[in-house]
Structure 1
Amino acid sequence: MSAPLLQVTGLSRAFGGVQAVDGVGFSLAEGEMLALIGPNGAGKSTTFNMVGGQLRPDAGDVRLAGESLVGLPPRTIWRRGVGRTFQIAETFRSLTVVENVQMALLSADRRILHWWRPAAAHRRADALALLERVGMHAQADRPCSALAYGDVKRVELAMALAHGPRLLLMDEPTAGMAPAERLALMALTRQIARERRMGVLFTEHSMDVVFGQADRVLVLVRGRLLAEGTPEQIQADARVQEAYLGAGFDVEATA
């Protein structure tokens, strides 16, 4: 059995007298979709931000392909192969769709300091190929400001893929999207993860997305890992039902 792509051990972080995360550990394999869920205040965002380098843990370790990421700035972690999307999509609204992806390619090529040169001159064919993969090729020359929100999320995904990440962190990727849009986006992400052997760690409140697209699910409650397993195992776990999902939870009802 191969070593995991991501290995998190004993991750802890306190804010003042509040223990936000307490000894959390998990692993993530290449090509795997891993969902991190739990009630508000469970420690999901804190855990997520420690993995991505926005927060430094008080204790524990985060290893990507065997190398520790703890203490490295987010930019260095990005260079090591960790991409990220955000709850509120981060795009340049005044630029066209393809120019947004070209800006991401400029950054991946360490040429972002030459931003005053037209983005249209940089790797347009590669940018179009990324847009083709996320279903946005036909809208390449439209300004991002004219797109529907679901399409903006697809552009953000293409931008996140520009530097070929081994691990993609997605913070509530379907927030604000209609049910059909969110399922389509995460099904697409799952396909790309399989193709590229890219691990995906995502937080999500839409249980239809979690149980429909994740390979495994982690449940945090009060800063600790309550349960870990397949979607089917998590849905059937009495502890998870009591602490988060509620008795008689039906994923179909959330679609």
Structure 2
Amino acid sequence: MSLLQVTGLSKSFGGVRAVDGVDFSLAPGELLALIGPNGAGKTTTFNMVGGQLVPDAGAIVLDGHDIAGLPPRAIWRRGVGRTFQIAETFASLTVLQNVQLALLSADGRIFRVWRPAGTHRVQDALALLERVGMGAQAARPCSELAYGDIKRVELAMALAHAPRLLLMDEPTAGMAPAERLALMALTRELAHERRMGVLFTEHSMDVVFQHADRVLVLVRGRILAEGPPAAIQGNAQVQAAYLGTGRIGAAPPAAAAPGAAP
């Protein structure tokens, strides 16, 4: 049974067809990677699912309800969480306070400023931090954290309202290789534990091929290929569209030395 079913999704900007009839599904507990070259329509597709863009056509059905065109807040209320390419936390607040604010929002109490926020669901906030490996740093301001730890705090915040679907926009951008693989391994564990579907965009192919259950490849707004990572990695059409030559994930050619012949 599908958690998310996307059918005929389309979006144009002026005369440019950014997304053209995209169909895909996502099951509970599954990680689906959305990849493609620059300009393929990944971000547009992702933002239509999250509510940042309104589709020109198509359906986005979450647990039997079409959410296409709803504003981001309404989509969030229906059980969709999100992390961003540039992590969004309050730098001056502690790790614990950031998660408490997310819990306040989940409980619909974010604007009730007369209630002491510092006492709100402390144990629940600590439990979320423990689960993402940040319990020991709960009292530290986010401004003091390494970027990889900020990403873990953001993940804890995204889990505060127990989403059924988690959207992750370039979740490992700016992270060292070991950090990004650890973050996605944790995400995979959480997805399986919570039966939470995860749709993510990603440029790091090591992350995609090690942690995605399925991979969806977009080119010029249309689906070029879909399948398990091993099949996508060996797909000649995908290799040609994504890199032009060589295997997906191969290192780019070394730059010529200054003054060398072209």
Q: What is the alpha-carbon distance in structure 1 between the residues aligned to residue 114 and residue 225 of structure 2? A: 49
Instruction: Compute the TM-score of the two structures, normalised by the length of structure 1.
Output: 0.96
8 Å CA contact 2:21–2:58 kept in 1: the answer is: yes
Seq. identity, %? 78
Tell me the amino acid that sits aligned with residue 125 of structure 2. A
If the length of structure 2 is used for normalisation, what is the TM-score? 0.94
Distance 2:117 2:22 in 1: 42
Name the SS for the 2:199 alignment partner. Answer: strand
| 2:161 partner amino acid | H
Question: Alpha-carbon deviation of 1:70?
Answer: 1.3
Correspondence for 1:70: 68
In the TM superposition, residue 71 of structure 1 has moved relative to its aligned partner by 2.2
Matched, 1:33 2:22: no
Q: Given that residues 211 and 251 in structure 1 are in contact (C-alpha distance below 8 angstroms), is that contact kept between their aligned partners in structure 2?
A: no
- Return the offset for 1:158: 0.1
Is 1:220–1:227's contact at 8 Å kept on the other side of the alignment?
Answer: yes
Of 199-208 and 68-77, deviating more is 68-77
Describe how 1:52-71 pairs up with structure 2 within 5 A: 52-71=50-69
**How far, CA to CA, are the matches of 1:70 and 1:221 in structure 2?**
22
Question: Counterpart in 1 of 2:108?
Answer: 110
SS at match of 2:148: helix
SS at match of 1:35: strand
AA paired with 1:175?
A
Question: Could you tell me which amino acid in structure 1 is paired with residue 24 of structure 2?
Answer: F
Counterpart of 1:142 in structure 2: which amino acid? Answer: R
Name the SS for the 2:111 alignment partner: helix
- Quote the Cα distance in structure 2 between the aligned partners of 1:119 and 1:93: 17
1:95 is matched with 93
> Which ranges in structure 2 are unaligned for 5 or more consecutive residues?
253-262
Q: Which amino acid aligns with 1:166?
A: R
Change in CA separation of 1:137 and 1:157 when aligned onto 2, cut-off 3 Å: same
The aligned residue for residue 85 of structure 1 is: 83
Contact 1:208 1:252 in 2 (8 A): no
Distance 1:199 1:253, change over 3 A: same
SS of 1:184's equivalent in the other structure is helix
- 1:45 to 1:116, Cα distance in 2 relative to 1, 3 A: farther
**Structure 2 residue identity aligned to 1:72:** L
Of structures 1 and 2, the larger Rg is shown by 2
Q: In the TM superposition, what is the alpha-carbon distance from 1:107 to its structure 2 partner?
A: 0.2
1:212 matched to 2:214? The reply is no
The AA in structure 2 aligned to 1:13 is K
* Alignment map for 1:50-199 (pairs within 5 Å): 50-115=48-113, 117-199=115-197
CA distance in 2, matches of 1:43, 1:78: 22
- 1:177 partner SS: coil
**1:71, 1:218 → 2: CA distance?**
22
Per-residue displacement from partner, 1:103-156 (whole Å, max 9, x unpaired)? 000000000002464421100000000000000000000000000000000000
Q: State how far apart, in whole Å, the 1-side matches of 2:196 and 2:147 are.
A: 25
Distance 1:210 1:25 in 2: 20
Q: What residue identity is the alignment partner of 1:143?
A: P
| Aligned equivalents of 1:75, 1:217: Cα separation in 2 | 28
8 Å Cα contact 1:49/1:55 also seen in 2? yes
Whether the 8 Å CA contact 1:134–1:155 is kept in 2: the answer is yes
Count, aligned residues:
252
Gaps of 5+ in 1: none
1:22 is paired with a residue whose SS is strand
Instruction: Tell me if the contact between 2:60 and 2:67 (Cα under 8 Å) persists in the aligned partners.
Output: yes
Distance 1:203 1:153 in 2: 15
Is residue 3–residue 63 contact of structure 2 (8 Å, CA) maintained in 1?
yes
Distance 2:20 2:250 in 1: 33
After superposition, the C-alpha distances for 1:207-252 in whole angstroms (9 at most, x for unaligned) are 0000010000000001111000000000111110100044331648
Judge conservation of contact 1:216–1:231 (CA < 8 Å) in 2: yes
Which runs of structure 1 show a deviation greater than 4 angstroms over 4 or more consecutive aligned residues? 250-254
Q: Which has the higher helix share?
A: 1
